[in-house]
Chain A
Amino acid sequence: MAVSTTVSQRKHIKRKAPRGFLKRVFKRQKPHLRLETSGDLLMHLNCLLFVQRLAEESRTNACENKCGVIKREHVLAAAKRQRLLLTGISM
């Protein structure tokens, strides 16, 4: 039969997705919309990839400035580039 939709009780998932948090964020922002079950998992995936790209970019920025530490300017510059490059509708 199909796999159960819920995870068994004693299962310990590493790197869990904060599903409740994501659902709540969405609800806060768009209370008139509904989010499907698997939607928040994909949202989590999107967040992971976003964070990954951001981290990569800021690391590049920091290395270019020959800093051993990532500073907030690097992060800011990386975020700006992300906004520019992303072809989102509302961005």
Chain B
Amino acid sequence: MADSGNPDSEPTTRTLLRRVLDTADPRTPRRPRNARAGAQRALLETPSSRRLSSQTKMTARRRSQRTKSIGKLAHVQASGHLEEQTPRTLLKNILLTAHPLLAVSAAPESSIVMPESVVKPVPAPQVVQPPRRESSRGSLELQLPELEPPTTLAPGLLAPGKRKQRLRLSVFQQAMDQELPLSQEPHGNADASSLTSSLNLTFATPLQPQSVQRPGLARRPPTHRAVDVGAFLQDLRDTSLALAPPDTVLEDTQPFSQPLVGQSPSVHHSLPCPSHSGAEDAERAVSHRTRSSGPRLQNNSPGKPAQLLAGRAEEVDALAMSFSHSSSSIFGEVAVEPLQDGVGEEAEERMEESLSMSKVKEAARAQGSARAEEPEGHTQVTEAEGSQGAIETKEPEGSSGDVDTSGRTVSPELAASTLEFLQAKQLQCLEPAPPPSTAVLPLEPLSARLPPRARTPGPKPRQGPYKTRLSHYAKLFSFYAKMPMERKALEMVEKCLDKYFQHLCDDLEVFAAHAGRKTVRPEDLELLMRRQGLVTDQLSLHVLVERHLPLEYRQLLIPCAFSGNSVFPAQ
């Protein structure tokens, strides 16, 4: 092989060409080196060369990282002229025919530019092609006559060509950077793919700044908070399932966590976790409930007297919850409605109301022992299972009847179930199993506690649902911070929020008084935000609303014109 003039620092090239030589199909006649067009035709005509090209492709990929290897066309070309030519001349032919656009190898002998698809004219590179091709051709033609006899001069001539081609490579890369990479060669060599992938990367990035440059039009950031709430709910569920100790105030954000010391975990386990989105959550909760309610009911029965004796509103609510749980466990209903829609004061209010309703019904029935039986009745139902049929018949009636009484979406069913339980117990099981009789006595003082409990809404609910709401914002804080936080830090955040709310209300009062009003209007809010520096002349309130609030609230806040010459909300 005429390698003297061609310092083959890359044996792979030689092996490549040797392979090509060995397996070359001598069908294609040797074309004159200058006949680039002919070479192209040869490229097209050689089907077998494709096989060779595949082989050469593989080897090319191997060395492609360094050489930015020979393309298919090059190999095809090489194969076409195999018999007569030496590896060097083959390479030269490749250079001739190759599209001198793509990368030039660092290796000396492989000043082979990656052939662009000469067959497939790529419009973008073609702009760059002709000058390069000409120049390369020129340089090659200079070299070629001297290559006939392989001489040592060729490498010297190759060098300037290489340099030129290397320069052209940089120019080409710049040109490519400016233009999008068009249809990539199917014979995507690894280099080609890597190059284009790198180019693709560079193309990807310019698209982004365009949106960044126009922040005013940018929509609000992605909805991470949805995930956060979901994680929050998941935490609730997990804590409720995992028997969270009562001292983890922050995690156990159940509304009744604080007042209930011993029984709260057990009660909460029976509580279904709130889930807006998932029936699956409810199902899971129900399954947990059914699992837990069985053993829990036993615990609850002795625990309930203690709870009620403590005389807290939340306990009664917990009782109601447990009633409903027992009912659901008995009937196997999937009370999908989450008990804690708002995780907090609403549930509490509902429960209070339902209990008050139940109390009213009890009073109406004028059965003194009924009240005492209330707490135990449900447990007894589970235990006795004797009144199941009767209760089931009562259940649907009661649920339909009590929907309007309690007036809430969730609580009607539960309240109905609880009420129906009471009614059923009263009507049919006046004397259920022996345990209730024993439990009646300790429960009688509970009934005495029931009325006063309704009158203590002030300080107690302040703790429970207020804390949950604050922790709602605290979780938002931990989300916005994007860093792990200590528990004490979260408590501090809650304190700050508390103070913030106080300041907020004071400010609003001052603003409303300044306007001579007794109602705080959105204008006062806007003035407050302006004073805080959130709303500026550049940044209007509407933009903030659009960014941070969900769409439904935006509709309520920003006046928008509708059909019929109407604007909503009215100004």
Contact = CB atoms under 8 A, between A and B. Distances in A.
Tell me, yes or no, whether A binds B.
Answer: yes
Contacts of B555: 3
B563 A1 contact: yes
Given A36-B521, A72-B486, A72-B492, A58 B481 contact: yes
A15 B228 CA distance: 9
A14 to B, nearest CB: 4
B507 A90 contact: yes
Given A39-B525, A45-B544, A33 B489 contact: no
A46 B529 contact: yes
B477 A88 contact: no
Contacts of B506: 29, 89-90
Contacts, number: 200
Contacts of B229: 14-15
A7 B555 CA distance: 10
B550 A2 contact: no
A79 B410 CA distance: 39
A38 B483 contact: no
Contact of B564 (A1, A25, A42, A52): A1
B520 A36 contact: yes
Contact of A14 (B226, B466, B502): B226
Interface residues of B, number: 79
Contacts of B497: 47, 50-51
A42 B482 CA distance: 25
A51 B476 contact: yes
A70 B489 contact: yes
Contacts of A56: 480-481
A46 B528 contact: yes
A42 B254 CA distance: 27
B507 to A, nearest CB: 5
Contacts of B553: 13, 17, 41, 44
Contacts of A49: 529, 534, 544, 548
A27 to B, nearest CB: 10
Interface string B56-90: 00000000000000000000000000000000000
A84 interface: no
A51 B504 contact: no
B507 A89 contact: yes
A69 B520 contact: no
Interface string B7-30: 000000000000000000000000
Interface in B207-230: 223, 225-226, 229
B403 to A, nearest CB: 15
Contacts of B560: 3
Nearest to B506: A90
Interface string A28-41: 11101111111101
B494 to A, nearest CB: 10
A33 B520 contact: yes
A42 B504 contact: no
Contact of B486 (A24, A33, A71, A86): A71
A54 B548 contact: no
Nearest to B511: A89
B522 A36 contact: yes
A33 B512 contact: yes
B508 interface: yes
Interface in B77-121: none
Interface in B531-571: 531-534, 541, 544-545, 548-550, 552-553, 555-557, 560, 562-564, 566-569
Q: Which of A15, A74, A86 has the most CB of B within 10 A?
A: A15
B525 A26 contact: no
A75 B416 CA distance: 47
B469 interface: yes
17 contacts: A5-B569, A14-B550, A21-B342, A21-B469, A26-B508, A38-B557, A41-B557, A42-B526, A47-B497, A51-B473, A54-B496, A56-B480, A62-B483, A68-B483, A69-B484, A71-B489, A72-B486
